């Protein structure tokens, strides 16, 4: 089978998964009280309406029923607008259709998440908003993935080669402590120690600001406004947080010819990327080691040794490459956990990515559009990462796509 | 056996002189496997260390169950402020700054923020050891305190109990689903595994959060005990697919074994095969995942609380993850972080150090155990 046929087949296979995920979120949304959904979509009820969004309001028209309640016109109108008076299957179909076409609703005018963001995102569609925050998250993800691979593959191979020696035990303890340290604790402690303790001690200067500005690391994804010439954000930095044209901070800074700013954004990403990576390395390292152990007992490795191939070549070429399959598979499996670390880390380090948007939406009472939108977006990331993993796997191991 | 009450049993054959050869004692193969596993586990130092730490924690949890909480001087404030939950001892200490110190577990604060209090050994309290190590605050603006030591002690119950409940329930569901899926195969397998795939592709922590965020809106879940149930439900909904997948892969191996064939040949039905033969023989691999998850769940509880999830913030819920999360959360968000940068105040390290240490030791001990189990159960890695 050709490679592109395999890829197309994989892409078709994800459709039921995406629809299933949407069905789950639909079930969750449907479980919400209707009044909350109305507030989430149309804002708080107007002052002049007596019952708010209650389904019935007391009224004096006694012939409607005996208790003197009649349907609330506001409720009837707005549930009709949202389509909540339709049968549940129709609602489900509409929801799936909207989700697939990225019609995820709009950021409300009194959304808490929108108010936390320094710029103006009120009234934008949820998909557009999240799309603006996505590149930062992606760059952070790529950065931490690089750290993960660079650390875990050599360390896992070393652990397999020097099995049960001190280096194996040390890598084991290091990786397990990554697993056992919650991201919020590690991130906060790193931030405390770097900003509070180490900052004044070493008298760091931010490369973009020529003054003593070590504590600006606390400030977030970009330097403070005062650090720019003239004390103004450059025009390509919306609200000082979202960069244009691509949204990837390093790429944009380089595009505008500001190398120091690119370096600065990488420095700002280092701690968060380390925190995310540290939690994921634990899941990967043991599998790399174990698969390496298995491969090193196979016949072709013995043959290679027997015919006099140098040991380091045996380990790097013969065994190392063949153990990569497992590494990639496990990376795909742990990707959901990996992505789940982003809200916390972006929240701690004040980075304006999708995860931070998710946290702010969670903290404000009625931002269901942003909450479910960012969950869907993260799920898409996981699904597409898994496709990439599958394709890589098929590339590395022809048996998969031929079989 | 069943008819022995009604029908007279046939006469025993007359004893012959030939001595019957005593059968060699053959242990139950499952018990033998358990012994073998434990033998390999015992040779793994780190796993033994993990088991040791875990046993200490279980001991602490049992000890904490029978410990009264020293809230003697704060009962009135507890009654007035704690709402409907003074469960087995829990307190809010509110007091206006400048007034007299209301009790051994409440402290006046130098900067108006209760989070910045140096740890003291309270000799007036009449207790040796680190009791109370200052107070743990929820956030500088909310006057909710409890003592770190007491919180840790009670938290051992909550952390261990909740994680075991979640993992046990999730593993049970996953075991059933995985066994059914693997045993029956065909469209049952396809359907169940697609559902598992769907569940696994949503990032777990986000999934837990949105499930709980939705369910908590339902008025039924307002009482405290039901909120704990809700927490467990939310985690179980997210967690069972892992076990289902692991069990299925093992069942696919087990169902081809000779003894399953033999059982089927002697007339065992599908249900009996699954319950008596398949499940007991494919249960071992999920122990690894279970022990990993038992360590992960307190961390995730902490993450939930750290993200500002208003589930237990206003009531006494001393769970290690929440304690660590709230202490750090308060520090990150409070102005103390900015005022501390010139060294004018104390960073309250004890507030996140001790809960964090408890979390860390607990999680790393079960990780050691899980790793040892993995090595012991996998014959390829043993040698």
Q: Give percent of chain A above pLDDT 90.
A: 22
DSSP state of B67: P
| 3-state DSSP assignment of residue A361 | helix
Per CB-CB distance under 8 Å, the chain A contacts of B308 are 359, 362-363
Which tokens sit at A181?
């340290």
Per CB-CB distance under 8 Å, the chain A contacts of B337 are 192, 196, 218
- The answer to whether A314 and A304 have CB atoms below 8 angstroms apart is yes
Which tokens sit at B174?
């996953």
How far is the alpha carbon of B57 from chain A, nearest alpha carbon, in Å?
Answer: 15
Secondary structure of A330-347 as H, E, C letters: HHHHHHHHHHHCHHHHHH
| Closest to B293 (Cα-Cα) out of B241, B356, B223, B228 | B241
Interface A-B: count of C-beta contacts within 8 A: 168
What pTM does this model have? Answer: 0.83
Name the least confident of A222-236, A345-359, B21-35, B51-65. B21-35
Q: What pLDDT does A208 receive? A: 67
Per CB-CB distance under 8 Å, the chain A contacts of B360 are 177, 180-181
Q: Which of B210, B324, B325 minimises the CB distance to A28? A: B210
| 3-state DSSP assignment of residue A71 | strand
How far is the alpha carbon of B160 from chain A, nearest alpha carbon, in Å?
Answer: 15
* Cα–Cα dist B195/B191, whole Å: 6
In chain A, residues 207-266 whose CB comes closer than 8 Å to chain B: 215, 218
- Put simply, whether A347 touches B (Cβ < 8 Å) is yes
- Put simply, whether A35 touches B (Cβ < 8 Å) is no
| 3-state DSSP assignment of residue B310 | coil
- The answer to whether A394 and A400 have CB atoms below 8 angstroms apart is yes
- The answer to whether A180 and B363 have CB atoms below 8 angstroms apart is yes
In chain A, residues 193-212 whose CB comes closer than 8 Å to chain B: 195-196, 199-200
* Cα–Cα dist A118/A238, whole Å: 9
Contact B302 A339 (CB under 8 A): no
Q: What pLDDT does B136 receive? A: 40
Mutation target among A182, A288, A372 for the B interface, most CBs of B within 10 A: A182
Contact A182 B321 (CB under 8 A): yes
Per CB-CB distance under 8 Å, the chain A contacts of B206 are 340, 343, 358, 374-375, 378
* Cα–Cα dist A329/A2, whole Å: 21
Q: Which helix (H) or strand (E) holds A223?
A: none
Per CB-CB distance under 8 Å, the chain B contacts of A173 are 46
Query: Buried (b) or exposed (e) across A375-387, using 16+ Cβ within 10 A?
Result: bbbbbebbbebbb
| Closest to A41 (Cα-Cα) out of A374, A368, A377, A375 | A368
β-partners of residue A125 are: A106
CA distances from A36 to A75, A122, A369, B214, B334 (A): 12, 19, 12, 11, 31
CA distances from B132 to A289, B71, B92, B251, B358 (A): 44, 12, 16, 52, 16
DSSP state of A236: T
Q: Which helix (H) or strand (E) holds B147?
A: strand B142-147
In chain A, residues 355-384 whose CB comes closer than 8 Å to chain B: 358-359, 362-363, 371-372, 374-375, 378-379, 382-383
| Closest to A240 (Cα-Cα) out of A251, A218, A259, A225 | A225
Contact A17 B201 (CB under 8 A): yes
Mean pLDDT of all residues in A114-127: 86
Q: Which of B204, B325, B343 minimises the CB distance to A336? A: B204
Per CB-CB distance under 8 Å, the chain B contacts of A184 are 302-303, 306, 324-325, 328-329
Work out the angle between the directed axes of helices B204-215 and A320-340 (0-180°, nearest 10). Answer: 20
Query: ipTM more than 0.95?
Result: no
CA distances from B203 to A290, A352, A381, B77 (A): 26, 19, 10, 42
Q: What pLDDT does B119 receive? A: 42
How far is the alpha carbon of A256 from chain B, nearest alpha carbon, in Å?
Answer: 33
* Cα–Cα dist B253/A341, whole Å: 34
Task: Give, for all 383 residues of chain B, the pLDDT tens digit.
Answer: 444 445 555 555 555 556 666 666 777 777 887 888 888 888 888 889 999 999 999 999 998 888 765 432 333 333 333 333 223 333 344 433 334 444 434 433 333 333 333 344 333 333 322 333 344 433 333 334 456 666 777 788 889 999 999 999 999 999 999 999 988 888 999 999 999 999 999 999 899 988 988 888 777 887 767 888 888 999 999 999 999 999 998 898 888 888 888 998 998 888 888 888 888 888 888 888 898 889 989 999 888 888 866 555 444 567 888 778 877 765 554 444 444 444 444 456 666 788 889 999 999 999 889 888 888 887 665 55
3-state helix, strand, coil in chain B (%, to 5): 65, 5, 35
Per CB-CB distance under 8 Å, the chain B contacts of A33 are 217-218
């Amino acid at each position: 089978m050709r490679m592109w046929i395999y890829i197309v087949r994989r892409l078709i296979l994800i459709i039921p998964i995406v629809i299933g995920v949407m069905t789950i979120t639909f079930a969750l949304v449907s479980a919400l009280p209707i009044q909350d959904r109305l507030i989430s979509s149309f804002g708080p009820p107007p002052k002049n309406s007596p019952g708010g969004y209650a389904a019935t309001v007391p009224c004096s028209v006694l012939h409607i029923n005996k208790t003197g309640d009649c349907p609330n016109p506001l409720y009837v109108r707005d549930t009709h607008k949202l389509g909540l008076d339709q049968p549940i299957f129709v609602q489900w179909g509409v929801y799936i259709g909207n989700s697939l076409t990225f019609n995820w609703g709009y950021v409300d005018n009194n959304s808490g998440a929108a108010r936390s963001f320094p710029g103006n995102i009120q009234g934008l569609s949820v998909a557009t908003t999240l799309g603006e925050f996505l590149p930062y998250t992606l760059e952070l993800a790529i950065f931490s993935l690089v750290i993960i691979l660079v650390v875990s593959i050599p360390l896992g191979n070393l652990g397999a080669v020097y099995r049960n020696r001190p280096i194996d035990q040390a890598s084991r303890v290091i990786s397990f402590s990554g697993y056992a340290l919650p991201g919020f604790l590690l991130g906060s402690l790193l931030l405390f120690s770097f900003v509070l303790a180490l900052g004044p001690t070493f008298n760091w200067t931010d490369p973009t600001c020529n003054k003593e500005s070590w504590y600006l690391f606390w400030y977030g994804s970009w330097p403070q406004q005062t650090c720019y010439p003239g004390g103004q954000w450059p025009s390509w930095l919306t609200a000082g947080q979202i960069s244009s044209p691509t949204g990837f901070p390093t790429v944009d800074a380089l595009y505008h010819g500001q190398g120091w700013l690119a370096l600065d954004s990488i420095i700002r990403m280092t701690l968060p990327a380390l925190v995310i990576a540290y939690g994921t390395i634990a899941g990967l390292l043991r599998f790399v080691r174990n698969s390496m152990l298995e491969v090193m007992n196979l016949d072709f490795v013995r043959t290679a040794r027997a015919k006099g191939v140098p040991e380091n070549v045996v380990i790097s070429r013969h065994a190392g490459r063949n153990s990569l399959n497992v590494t990639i598979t496990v990376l795909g499996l742990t990707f959901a956990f990996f992505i789940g670390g982003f809200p916390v880390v972006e929240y701690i380090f004040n980075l304006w990515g999708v995860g931070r948007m998710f946290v702010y939406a969670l903290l404000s009472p009625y931002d269901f559009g942003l909450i479910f939108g960012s969950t869907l977006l993260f799920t898409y990331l996981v699904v597409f990462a898994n496709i990439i993993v599958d394709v890589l796997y098929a590339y590395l191991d022809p048996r998969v796509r031929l079989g | 056996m069943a008819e022995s009450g009604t029908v007279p049993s046939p006469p025993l054959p007359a004893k012959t002189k030939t001595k019957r050869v005593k059968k060699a004692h053959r242990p139950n193969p499952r018990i033998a496997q358990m012994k073998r596993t434990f033998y390999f586990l015992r040779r793994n130092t780190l796993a033994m260390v993990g088991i040791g730490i875990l046993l200490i924690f279980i001991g602490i949890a049992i000890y904490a169950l029978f410990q009264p909480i020293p809230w003697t001087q704060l009962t009135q404030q507890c009654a007035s402020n704690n709402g409907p939950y003074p469960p087995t001892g829990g307190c809010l200490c509110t007091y206006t700054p400048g007034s007299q110190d209301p009790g051994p577990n409440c402290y006046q604060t130098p900067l108006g923020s209760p989070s910045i209090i140096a740890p003291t050994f309270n000799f007036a309290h009449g207790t040796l050891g680190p009791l109370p190590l200052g107070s743990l605050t929820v956030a500088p603006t909310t006057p909710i305190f409890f003592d770190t030591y007491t919180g840790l002690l009670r938290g051992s119950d909550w952390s261990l109990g909740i994680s075991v409940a979640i993992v046990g329930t999730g593993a049970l569901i996953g075991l059933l689903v995985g066994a059914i899926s693997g045993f029956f195969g065909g469209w049952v397998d396809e359907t169940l595994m697609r559902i598992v795939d769907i569940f696994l592709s949503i990032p777990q922590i986000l999934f837990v959060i949105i499930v709980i965020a939705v369910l908590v809106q339902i008025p039924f879940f307002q009482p405290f005990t039901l909120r704990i149930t809700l927490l467990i439900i939310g985690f179980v909904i997210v967690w069972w697919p892992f076990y289902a997948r692991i069990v299925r892969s093992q069942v696919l191996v087990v169902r081809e074994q000779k003894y399953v064939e033999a059982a089927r040949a002697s007339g065992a039905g599908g249900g009996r095969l699954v319950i008596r033969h398949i499940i007991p023989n494919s249960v071992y691999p999920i122990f690894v995942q279970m022990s990993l998850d038992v360590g992960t769940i307190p961390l995730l509880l902490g993450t939930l609380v750290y993200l500002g999830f208003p589930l237990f913030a206003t009531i006494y819920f001393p769970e290690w993850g929440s304690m660590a999360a709230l202490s750090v959360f308060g520090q990150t968000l409070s102005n103390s972080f900015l005022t501390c940068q010139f060294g004018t105040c104390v960073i309250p390290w004890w507030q996140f150090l001790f809960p964090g240490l408890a979390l860390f030791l607990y999680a790393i001990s079960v990780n050691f155990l899980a790793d040892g189990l993995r090595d012991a159960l996998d014959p390829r890695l043993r040698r």
